Structure 1
Amino acid sequence: MATISHTLESELQTLQQEAQVAIAAITTLEEVEQLRINYLGKKGQLSRILGAMGKLSPEDRPRIGSLANEVKEALQTHLDQQRETLQKAQLQAQLQAESLDVTMPGVNRPLGRLHPLNSTVDRVLDIFVGLGYTVATGPHVETDYYNFEALNIPTDHPARDMQDTFFLADGRLMRTHTSPVQIRYMENHEPPIRIVAPGRVYRRDTVDATHSAVFHQVEILAVDKGLTFTDLKGTIKEFLRQMFGADLPIKFRASYFPFTEPSAEVDVQWKGKWLEVMGCGMVDPNVLKAVGYDPEIYTGFAAGLGVERFAMVLHQIDDIRRLYNSDLRFLRQF
C-alpha cells in the first residue's frame, strides 16, 4: 500500500511541475483550453492518476486526496491567470489595430435623397395605412387569368386593347396593373379586407411627355358587408385631402372599367383646371364570384392611381421622362 501511495504522490508532483511549465509556454487562448482538457478534464491526466486511489489504504486516502485537490487548484489558478494575461494582450492588440486618428479629416459622402416616385408612393401608403389598410404586393410576371379573366376581362374583350402588354414565350405576361394583387389576396383571405397595393406595371405604350411603357400604380380594395359608393367617395375625398393638403374641389365622372360597376373617374381642380387623378368604382359581382365571395352578402370598392401623375402634380414636373433619366441636376431638387 505504501508503494502505491508514494507512486501517486510522485505522479501528482510531477504532473504539477510539467503542467506549470506547459502553461507558462502558452501563447493562444485555444492552447489554454486544450491544456485544461488535457490535465483537468474528465479523461485528463489528473483523473487518470486519481483513478488508482481505490487501491490506497484508508489512512493514505485523505492525504493523497488533499494533495490532488491542491494540485488541481494550483493548475486551475495558473490556467486562469494565463487566460487573463492573453485576453488582455489580445484586447490591447485589437485596440492598437483599430485605433483612429481623430485629427485626420473625415471622408465626406453626400447624403442621398428619396426619388420623387419613391417619396410619392411612401406618402400614399402612409395615408392609407393610417386609414386602416394593409399593404399587399404580388408578382410582376402574371398569368392571363389573374391579369384579365379573374378581373372580368375575358378573351377578346375590347377592354384588353386598352391594356396591351408584353407577353413571354411561356404564355405569361408582364402585369398591366396591380389589380391581380387584389385577386390573389382575396383568394387567401376572407372578408372584411382592406388592402393597398403599390407596384410597377407594364404596357405597350408609346413613350412621350405623359406616357411610359413602364410606370407605377397604387390600388386600394375594400370588401365587407354593406359597403356602398358613399364609402368609396368618402375614402377618396379624405385621401386626396391628406395628399394635397387642402380641400380641393373634387368631381366624380361616370366611366367604365370591366372590374367595377358603377365606375367613375376622379378629377380635382388644380390651379384653376380640372385634372383627372384616379379611377374607381364598386367591385363587379363577377370579380367577387371569381374568388369565391358571395356578392349577395359582400360588396366592395376599388380605386387606382398613377404614381407618376401624382408626382408630376405635386412637384410641377413637365415631362414624365425626367423621372427615369437619373439626371442628378433634376433629382437634387427633391
Structure 2
Amino acid sequence: MNEQIQAIQAEVESFLISNEAELEQFRIAYVGRKGRLAALFDGLKDVPAENRRDVGQALNALKQLAEGKFSLAQEAFADSGSSVQVPDDLTLTDPIMHGSMHPLTIVRARILEIFNRMGFSVSDGPEIETDFFNFTALNFPPNHPAREMQDTFFIEKGKGEIQDDVLLRTHTSNVQVRLMQYQKPPIRSIMPGRVFRNEAISARAHCLFHQVEGLYVDEDVSFKDLKDSLYHFAKEMFGKDTKVRFRPSYFPFTEPSAEMDITCLLCKGDGCNVCKQAGWVEIGGAGMVDPNVLENVGIDSKKYSGFAFGMGIERITMLKYQIKDLRLFTENDVRFLRQFN
C-alpha cells in the first residue's frame, strides 16, 4: 500500500494542468469518487491493524495534496476566464512590447539637434522662479499690462496668502536672464523646458506646455543674424519648401520685435480652417534684445547686442504631425502614442 501511495503522489505532483480539459482529467483520476485515491481508501480495510493508522495518515496527506492542486488550478482558470497557454518551448522568453518616444520628446530632440549644429549650447533653469528673473529683469515694469497677459501662477506662503515675488515661470526667458547675469558674452544658447500659465484647458490651450527659447549675445549681432537663424531652422524642421515671414510685433524684452509665420502644412498655403484661410501659421516670437535687459544683467549695451526668440514645442509638434488637439499630448492614450514608433 505504501508503494502505491508514493507512486500516486509522484503522479499528482508531476501532472501538468494547462487547460480546463486537463483539469477535468485530473479530477476524474485523483479527486473524483471513482478515482484512484477513492480505491486506495476502499482498500484501507485490508491493511493490517497495526499499520492502518500510518497508512491512513499517508492517504489523508495524499488526498489533501491532490485536492489542493485541483482547487488552485480551478481558481486560476476562474480568474483568467480562459485556459492557461503553455508554450511548446519553455526556454523562450515572452514577446516584448517595444515602447515609443513621446512626440514632444521627438520634436524637442530635433529642435536641439538643429540649433546645436548652428553652435547653440543647451541651458536649463528653475521652474519655480522669482519675479525679478521672470518679469523685472526682462523689462516688465510693475503693473505693466504684459504681466496680466502671462496669467501667472503665484506661490502661496500658506493659509491662502499669496507670495507676490515667487511664481511658476511663465516662459523660459528666466534662463536667458540667469545666463546673461552669470556668463560674459559671447553667449549662444537655447533653453527648452516646461512653463505654466493659468489658462483654461482646451484643444488649443493648456496650463502646462513646453517652450524652447534662444539667445545670442555678442558684438555686432544684427536682425539679419536672427532672420537667417530662424529661416534655417524652419527649413530644417518643416522642409525646404517651407516659406517664412516676419510680422512686426511687441514684446517688453525685445526691440524691434517680430512674430514668425510659416506656410500652413495642411493646405500648403492655399487657406484652410487651421490657418483661418490665411495660408500662414504663427510659430513663435523673436526680436533684438532690448538694451534695458542687457543693462539689467550687467552687460554693456553699447558694446554688445543680441537677439532672442521663443516658440512652443507643442505648436511645432502639432504642425509637423498634423495634430489638431493639444490635450492629446497629456492624456497618455496608448493608441495615440503608438503612432510615433
Q: What SS does the aligned partner of 1:168 have?
A: strand
From 151, 157, 180, the equivalent of 2:144 is 157
Deviation by residue 1:178-231 (Cα, 9 ceiling, x = unmatched)? 000001111111000100000000001111111000000000000000001011
Mapped partners of 2:93, 2:328: distance in 1? 34
Mapped partners of 1:118, 1:137: distance in 2? 16
1:245-324 to structure 2, matched below 5 A, reads 245-270=239-264, 271-272=268-269, 273-324=279-330
Mapped partners of 2:182, 2:237: distance in 1? 31
- Residue number in structure 1 paired with 2:204: 210
Larger radius of gyration: 1
Matched length: 233
> How much does 1:111 deviate?
1.0
Mapped partners of 1:105, 1:249: distance in 2? 53
Mapped partners of 1:153, 1:108: distance in 2? 56
- Residue number in structure 2 paired with 1:193: 187
More helix by share: 1
Mapped partners of 1:297, 1:197: distance in 2? 24
1:122-141 to structure 2, matched below 5 A, reads 122-141=109-128
Larger deviation, residues 172-181 vs 102-111: 102-111
One-letter code aligned to 2:218: D
- Residue number in structure 2 paired with 1:326: 332
Q: Calculate percent identity across the aligned residue pairs.
A: 51
Q: What SS does the aligned partner of 1:236 have?
A: helix
- Residue number in structure 2 paired with 1:242: 236
Mapped partners of 2:257, 2:300: distance in 1? 20
Q: What SS does the aligned partner of 1:209 have?
A: coil
Mapped partners of 1:241, 1:228: distance in 2? 21
Q: What SS does the aligned partner of 1:268 have?
A: strand
- Residue number in structure 2 paired with 1:90: none
Mapped partners of 1:168, 1:225: distance in 2? 39
Runs (5+) with no aligned partner, structure 2? 1-88, 158-162, 270-278
Runs of 4+ in 1 over 4 A off after TM superposition: none
1:37-56 to structure 2, matched below 5 A, reads none
One-letter code aligned to 2:221: L
Larger deviation, residues 168-177 vs 293-302: 168-177
Larger deviation, residues 268-277 vs 216-225: 268-277
> How much does 1:276 deviate?
0.4
One-letter code aligned to 1:194: R
Q: What SS does the aligned partner of 2:282 have?
A: strand
Deviation by residue 1:210-253 (Cα, 9 ceiling, x = unmatched)? 10000000000000000010110000000111111223111100
> How much does 1:103 deviate?
6.4
When the two chains are superposed, the root-mean-square deviation of aligned CA atoms in Å is 1.1
Mapped partners of 1:290, 1:151: distance in 2? 8
TM-score (norm 1): 0.69
One-letter code aligned to 2:149: M
One-letter code aligned to 1:238: H
Mapped partners of 1:193, 1:108: distance in 2? 49
